[in-house]
């Protein structure tokens, strides 16, 4: 039995094993960085509604409101604002007597009697993206005045997200070096160069937008209107986070 143990010990201290040991002389740390950047983009969602006794009357009402809102916001926010649109719907409208206990038009019905079509409703959802963060809240009120059925300031963003990420990553790497330096000092060794660096990111891509190109010359500007009610907006800085995994070599 003693011979067997002696052989096992000899195998553990072979020259090849000693040669591999320096590769394990490392310090591994996780660095975190957070930077705060004032937002320079504001995003609004606007809903428009047109009504009429015929589909053309409803869509015509909707188109008139769309032009009024678009022209008014462009004049108030400036030319760098981007107006896009999403869903457009045109639906039939029936009287209240057509409802049943399970909800409006829950089962197919003929358009007769209580369910006779009395008109049409056209709706459109639009979005506004603007760099005039200071005017964004006021713009929501202006859109409502010009015909929007619902206008909301939905949030803020950064136009240079990559720059914010780069600053957060640099902060995370600096945090990792400070941690590794402290560990090396406490262990009585010298910190060597980085031998491995990885970045962990969990950002979601921005949703795409559908852009509308005007097929006709823009309409003439609307007549002067009283200035909109001023609503002050002061958004919080946007936090951008980064996390890195760093392995440093230990030098003698």
pLDDT band of 230, cuts 50, 70, 90: confident
Task: State the chain's mean pLDDT as an integer.
Answer: 80
**Given this model, what pLDDT does residue 226 score?**
67
pLDDT band of 220, cuts 50, 70, 90: low
**Given this model, what pLDDT does residue 123 score?**
95
Phi–psi pair at 121, nearest 5 degrees? -125, 125
CB 154 within 8 A of CB 45: yes
pLDDT tens across 34-89, in order?
Answer: 999 999 999 999 999 999 999 999 999 999 999 999 999 999 998 778 888 888 99
Q: What gap in Å lies between CA 178 and CA 176, rounded to an integer?
A: 6
**Given this model, what pLDDT does residue 18 score?**
36
- SS3 labels along the chain: CHHHHHHHHHHHCCHHHHHHHHHHCEEEEEEEEEEEECCCEEEEEEEEEEEECCHHHHHHHHHHHHHHHHHHHHHHHCCCCEEEEEEEEEEEEECHHHCECCECCCCCCCCCHHHCEEEEEEEEEEEEEECCHHHHHHHHHHHHHCCEEEEEEEEEECCCHHHHHHHHHHHHHHHHHHHHHHHHHHHCCEEEEEEEEEEECCCCCCCCCCCCCCCCCCCCCCCCCCCCCCCCCCCCCEEEEEEEEEEEEEEC
Phi–psi pair at 221, nearest 5 degrees? -60, 145
**Given this model, what pLDDT does residue 10 score?**
31
**Given this model, what pLDDT does residue 28 score?**
93
**Given this model, what pLDDT does residue 76 score?**
93
CB 131 within 8 A of CB 80: yes
The two tokens of residue 26 are 């490392």
Q: Average pLDDT for residues 179-207, to the nearest whole number?
A: 78
pLDDT band of 32, cuts 50, 70, 90: very high
Which of 131, 123, 170 is closest to 148 using CA atoms? Answer: 123
């Amino acid at each position: 039995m003693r011979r067997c143990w002696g052989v096992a010990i000899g195998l553990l201290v072979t020259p090849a094993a000693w040669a591999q040991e320096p590769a394990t002389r490392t310090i591994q740390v996780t660095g975190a960085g957070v930077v705060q950047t004032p937002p320079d983009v504001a995003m609004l969602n606007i809903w428009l509604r047109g009504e009429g006794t015929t589909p053309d009357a409803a869509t015509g009402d909707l188109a008139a409101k769309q032009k009024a809102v678009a022209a008014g916001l462009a004049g108030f926010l400036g030319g760098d604002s981007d107006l896009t649109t999403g869903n457009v719907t045109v639906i039939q409208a029936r009287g209240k007597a057509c409802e049943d206990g399970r909800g409006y038009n829950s089962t197919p019905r003929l358009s007769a009697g209580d369910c006779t079509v009395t008109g049409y409703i056209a709706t459109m959802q639009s979005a506004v993206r603007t760099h005039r963060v200071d005017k964004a809240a006021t713009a929501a009120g202006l859109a409502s005045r010009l015909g929007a059925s619902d206008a909301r300031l939905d949030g803020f963003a950064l136009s240079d997200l990559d720059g914010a990420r780069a600053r957060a990553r640099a902060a995370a790497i600096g945090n990792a070096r400070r941690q590794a330096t402290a560990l090396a000092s406490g262990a009585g060794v010298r910190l060597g160069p980085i031998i491995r660096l990885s970045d962990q990111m969990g950002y979601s891509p921005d949703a795409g937008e559908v852009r509308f190109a005007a097929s006709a010359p823009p309409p003439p500007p609307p007549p002067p209107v009283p200035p909109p009610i001023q609503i002050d907006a002061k958004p919080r800085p946007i936090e951008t986070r980064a996390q890195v995994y760093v392995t440093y070599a230990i030098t003698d």
